C-alpha cells in the first residue's frame, strides 16, 4: 500500500473532489464450509491413491502366489549364491574359469552337507528306539502322577485328553510336512525343486557378474543407475545377513551341542544340527530348537538334566543377543525386533516354513528399497542429511550419474 511522507496511507482525489485511500484490499476470509470442503477433497484424493496402491500390492501378491513354484527355486538359489560367491570369486581371481570355479565350490558344498547328514544318521537310528521307550515310560509316570493327589484325574479323562492330542498331531503332520515346501504343486516334487535350485545356483555363480552390465545396457539412463545401485545394496545386505547368521548359528550349535554331549542327552548331534538351521529363522527358530532340546533331555535324562539344558540354552541365547548379533551384524540389517517378529509370523502364515525362513531377508530388501527412496526424496527436496545409514553414501542424481554424498 502506498504511503505519504508522514507515514499515512496515500490518498487520491476523485472527479467529484472526494479523497479516498488507495491500497490492496485483504483477501476475503474462508468460510467453515469451504475449509471443510477442501479437507474432504484432500482426503478423498489421497484415499483414492491409497486404494490404487493397495490394489497394485494385491495384484503383485496374486502374481507372486501364482508364480511361486518358479520364484521359490530362484529365491533359494540367490540365497545360496550369497554364501558360495566369496570362494568362487577367490578361485576366479586365481585364474580358474567361471564354470570350473562354480562347479568346484558347489560340489564341495554338497559334499559337506551330505557328509554331515551321513555322520548324524547312525546316531539317530541307534538312539531313536531307546528314546521312544523312554518317552513311553515318562508318559506312564505322568499318568500315575495325575491320577494321584491333588489332581485325581480319572482314566477316562486321561484317555480323552490323549486321544485329542494324538488326533491333533496326526491332523497337523500333513500340514507341517507340506509346509516345508509350501507352494510346490503336486506335479513338482521336492526332489525336482532341489535339483532346480542346484542348477540355478551354478548358473548364477557362473554368469552372475554379467547381470548388472546387461541391466545397464537394457534399461538405459537414468533408470539403469538407480536400479543397479538398489540391486547392489540388496545383494550386500543379503550377503551380510546370510553369512553372519550362518556364523552365529554355527556358534550356537557348537556351544549347545557341546553341552548336550557332555550331559549325555540322546540325539545330541542331531539337536545341534537342528539348532544350526533353526538359527536362520530369527526368534522363532531359536525358541523351537531350544524347546525340542529341553524336551528330549527331559524324556531321556530326567528333569534335572532338562533344567541344566534350559540354562545352557538361555545362556547361549543371551551371548548371541547381547554380543554376537550386535558385533557381527552391526547395521547390516537395521531392523527392529518387532519388525522381525511380525515378518516371521506373516511369512510362516502365508508360505509355511519356507516363508518363515525368507521373511527376514524379504523385510531387509524392502527396507533397503525404502531407504533408497528416502534418499532420493531428500535429495530432490534439497535436504542436506540424505543418507540414514553409514553404508548408504552413494546418491544418484537426476542425470543418471553417481556421485558421493557426504554423510
CA quadruple 307, 246, 284, 308: dihedral, nearest 10: 0
SS3 20: strand
Q: Is it the case that residue 47 has pLDDT exceeding 90? A: yes
Question: What is the structure's pLDDT at 49?
Answer: 92
What is the Cα–Cα distance from 398 to 228, expressed in whole angstroms? 15
Query: Are the C-beta atoms of residues 252 and 263 closer than 8 Å to each other?
Result: no
- The mean per-residue pLDDT over the stretch 100-125 comes to 84
Most confident by average pLDDT, 93-102, 210-219, 316-325, 348-357: 93-102
According to the model, what pLDDT value does residue 407 have?
A: 36
DSSP state of 394: E
According to the model, what pLDDT value does residue 393 have? 44
Whether pLDDT at 17 is above 60: no
Q: How confident is the model at residue 401 (pLDDT cuts 50, 70, 90)?
A: very low
269 with 105: CB under 8 angstroms? no
Most confident of 94-98, 180-184, 284-288, 349-353: 94-98
| CA separation, residue 272 to residues 84, 96, 258, 357 (Å) | 23, 36, 8, 18
Spell out the residues 6+ positions from residue 316 whose beta carbon is closer than 8 angstroms to its own: 252, 255, 256
- Please state, in angstroms and rounded to a whole number, the distance separating the CA atoms of residues 75 and 64: 12
Q: Would you state the pLDDT for residue 266?
A: 80
127 grid coordinates: 538312539
Query: For the whole model, what pTM was predicted?
Result: 0.64
Pick the more confident residue, 252 or 159: 252
Amino acid at each position: 500500500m502506498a504511503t505519504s511522507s508522514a507515514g499515512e496511507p496515500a490518498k487520491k482525489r476523485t472527479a467529484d473532489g472526494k479523497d479516498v485511500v488507495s491500497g490492496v484490499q485483504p483477501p476475503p476470509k474462508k468460510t467453515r464450509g469451504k475449509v471443510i470442503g477442501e479437507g474432504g477433497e484432500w482426503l478423498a484424493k489421497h484415499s483414492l491413491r491409497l486404494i490404487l496402491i493397495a490394489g497394485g500390492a494385491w495384484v503383485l501378491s496374486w502374481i507372486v502366489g501364482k508364480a511361486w513354484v518358479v520364484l521359490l527355486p530362484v529365491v533359494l538359489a540367490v540365497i545360496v549364491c550369497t554364501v558360495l560367491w566369496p570362494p568362487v570369486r577367490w578361485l576366479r581371481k586365481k585364474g580358474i574359469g567361471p564354470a570350473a570355479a562354480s562347479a568346484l565350490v558347489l560340489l564341495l558344498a554338497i559334499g559337506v552337507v551330505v557328509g554331515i547328514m551321513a555322520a548324524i544318521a547312525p546316531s539317530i537310528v541307534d538312539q531313536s528306539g531307546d528314546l521312544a521307550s523312554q518317552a513311553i515310560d515318562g508318559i506312564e509316570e505322568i499318568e500315575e502322577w495325575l491320577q494321584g493327589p491333588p489332581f485325581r484325574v480319572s482314566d477316562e479323562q486321561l484317555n480323552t485328553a490323549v486321544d485329542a492330542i494324538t488326533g491333533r498331531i496326526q491332523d497337523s503332520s500333513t500340514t507341517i510336512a507340506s509346509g516345508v515346501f509350501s507352494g510346490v504343486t503336486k506335479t513338482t516334487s521336492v526332489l525336482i525343486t532341489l535339483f532346480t535350485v542346484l542348477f540355478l545356483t551354478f548358473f548364477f555363480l557362473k554368469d552372475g557378474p554379467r547381470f548388472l552390465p546387461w541391466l545397464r545396457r537394457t534399461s538405459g539412463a537414468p533408470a539403469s543407475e538407480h536400479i543397479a545401485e538398489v540391486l547392489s545394496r540388496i545383494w550386500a545386505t543379503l550377503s551380510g545377513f546370510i553369512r553372519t547368521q550362518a556364523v552365529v548359528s554355527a556358534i550356537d550349535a557348537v556351544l549347545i551341542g557341546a553341552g548336550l554331549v557332555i550331559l549325555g542327552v540322546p540325539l545330541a548331534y542331531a539337536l545341534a544340527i537342528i539348532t544350526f538351521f533353526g538359527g536362520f529363522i530369527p526368534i522363532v527358530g531359536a525358541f523351537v530348537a531350544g524347546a525340542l532340546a529341553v524336551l528330549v533331555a527331559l524324556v531321556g535324562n530326567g528333569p534335572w538334566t532338562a533344567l541344566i539344558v534350559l540354562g545352557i540354552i538361555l545362556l547361549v541365547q543371551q551371548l548371541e543377543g547381547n554380543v554376537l548379533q550386535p558385533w557381527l551384524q552391526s547395521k547390516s540389517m537395521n531392523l527392529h525386533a518387532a519388525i522381525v517378529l511380525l515378518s516371521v509370523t506373516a511369512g510362516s502364515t502365508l508360505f509355511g516354513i519356507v516363508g518363515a525362513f525368507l521373511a527376514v531377508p524379504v523385510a531387509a530388501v524392502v527396507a533397503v528399497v525404502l531407504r533408497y527412496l528416502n534418499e532420493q526424496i531428500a535429495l530432490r527436496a534439497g535436504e542436506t542429511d540424505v543418507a540414514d545409514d553409514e553404508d548408504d553414501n552413494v546418491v544418484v542424481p537426476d542425470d543418471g550419474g553417481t556421485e558421493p554424498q557426504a554423510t
